């Protein structure tokens, strides 16, 4: 019988070689993984042209903490965000700047409460940022300058906030070109801005994706209220207080299927009425104070089953406070002051267990307050005027 002998040393060498190869393969994989992780975490800087555009935009302004005083009053931290903008650094790391993670384009600019003092001229480098989707310039001081028509060229813009920043003059028609807008805020403390009828008409026609519209103190005296008939059905919040609106508000606004907040206060020549039939509403916040109604409290209010904040001061209501008001069991704030209500308080008011603010001043409520109402007033959180 022939015996084949394989030297032990050769098998050991082969085994050691396999171990070395497997270790080498493992280290190569580890090196490849670390390089991939490093490349993904250290994304390239934003493009040079966009960085330059932002730095040029910065040169338009001086900084003063006085101009953003309103931010601190509502616990919004104000500071000069642009001070972090330095040449030679990645603009995507600057305060107030948001970039697309993949392409590193500047897609968001939040300079609200940034102490800015200056103006934004037609040739501003701001308009060299074509990828912007969010732009917030609220609570600065733009020295009563006009809103440039070039704001209308941001085709991708979804959110535009120019509120409380001392712009003045006519709102340019080009704002209506921003068809992707989901929110628009042009509010101010004083009526320095004006919206003309032609612009409102185009806004209503083109901004079909709008969810929030805030125009507090924007002068709109020349518009026909019928132009508001076709407001976006996506709207959840509308603020039109102190806009000098005149005439009868279309009840279509109260039928908007997603509307949760509607503020119409301080339009003393505005009249309105709720839909009477086939109406339900998701409204949670309604303020029609200092508008005109004249008559008894409309029964349609009883259908507002989600209502939490209801302000109807100085609307020339008369008659008695109806018992069905007690059906609005989610009410937190109720203001019926400075009207002509008379009679006694209905006992059903005691159903408003979560009520924390109740104002009935300057009415003609007579007689004894029902004992059930006194149970309601025992709530330590309830303020009654």
pLDDT of residue 70: 81
pLDDT of residue 18: 43
How would you write the chain as a 3-class SS string?
CCCCCCCHHHHHHHHHHHHHHHHHHHHHHHHHHHHHHHHHHCCCCCCHHHHHHHHHHHCCCEECHHHHHHHHHCCCCCCCHHHHCCCCCCHHHCCCEEECCCCCCEEEEECCCCCEECCCCCCCHHHHCCCCCEEECCCCECCCECCCHHHHHCCCCCEEECCCCCECEECCHHHHHCCCCCEEECCCCCCCEECCHHHHHHHHHHCCCCCEEECCCCECCCCCHHHHCCCCCCCCEEECCCCCCEEECCHHHHHCCCCCEEECCCCCEEECCCCCCCCCCCCCEEECCCCECCEECCHHHHHCCCCCEEECCCCCEEEECCHHHHHCCCCCEEECCCCEEEECCCHHHHHCCCCCEEECCCCEECCCCCHHHHHHHCCCCCEEC
pLDDT of residue 97: 96
Please provide the average confidence, as pLDDT, over all residues in the chain.
86
pLDDT digits (tens, 9 = 90+) for 42-63: 455 788 999 999 999 999 999 9
Q: Is the model's pTM score more than 0.95? A: no
pLDDT digits (tens, 9 = 90+) for 23-40: 444 445 444 544 443 344
pLDDT digits (tens, 9 = 90+) for 231-242: 999 999 999 999
pLDDT digits (tens, 9 = 90+) for 262-291: 999 999 999 998 887 667 889 999 999 999
pLDDT of residue 142: 96
pLDDT of residue 102: 86
17 pLDDT above the threshold of 80: no
6 pLDDT above the threshold of 90: no
91 pLDDT above the threshold of 50: yes
């Amino acid at each position: 019988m022939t015996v084949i002998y394989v030297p032990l040393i050769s098998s050991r060498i082969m085994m050691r070689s396999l171990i070395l190869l497997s270790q080498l393969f493992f280290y190569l994989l580890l090196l490849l993984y670390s390089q991939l992780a490093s490349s993904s975490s250290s994304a390239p800087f934003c493009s040079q042209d966009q960085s330059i555009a932002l730095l040029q935009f910065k040169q338009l302004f001086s900084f003063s903490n006085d101009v953003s005083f309103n931010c601190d009053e509502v616990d919004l931290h104000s500071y000069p965000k642009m001070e972090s903008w330095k040449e030679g650094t990645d603009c995507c790391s600057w305060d107030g700047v948001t970039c697309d993670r993949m392409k590193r384009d500047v897609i968001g600019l939040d300079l609200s409460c940034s102490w800015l003092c200056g103006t934004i001229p037609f040739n501003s480098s701001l308009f060299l940022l074509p990828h912007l989707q969010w732009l917030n310039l609220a609570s600065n001081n733009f020295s009563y300058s006009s809103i440039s028509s070039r704001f209308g060229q941001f085709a991708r813009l979804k959110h535009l906030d120019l509120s409380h920043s001392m712009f003045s003059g006519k709102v340019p028609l080009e704002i209506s070109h921003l068809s992707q807008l989901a929110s628009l805020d042009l509010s101010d403390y004083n009526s320095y801005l004006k919206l003309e009828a032609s612009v409102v008409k185009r806004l209503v026609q083109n901004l079909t994706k709008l969810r929030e519209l805030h125009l507090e103190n924007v002068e709109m005296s020349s518009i026909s209220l019928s132009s508001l008939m076709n407001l976006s059905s996506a709207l959840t919040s509308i603020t039109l207080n102190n806009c000098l609106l005149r005439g009868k508000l279309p009840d279509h606004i109260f039928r908007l299927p997603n509307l949760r907040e509607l503020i119409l206060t301080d339009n003393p020549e505005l009249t309105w009425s709720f839909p009477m039939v086939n109406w339900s509403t998701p409204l949670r916040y309604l303020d029609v104070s200092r508008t005109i109604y004249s008559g008894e409290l409309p029964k349609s209010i009883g259908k507002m089953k989600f209502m939490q904040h209801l302000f109807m001061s100085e609307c020339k209501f008369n008659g008695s406070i109806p018992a069905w008001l007690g059906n609005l069991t989610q009410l937190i704030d109720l203001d019926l002051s400075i009207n002509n209500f008379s009679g006694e308080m209905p006992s059903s008011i005691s159903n408003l267990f979560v009520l924390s603010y109740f104002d009935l001043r300057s009415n003609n409520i007579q007689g004894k307050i029902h004992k059930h109402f006194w149970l309601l007033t025992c709530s330590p959180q309830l303020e009654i005027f």
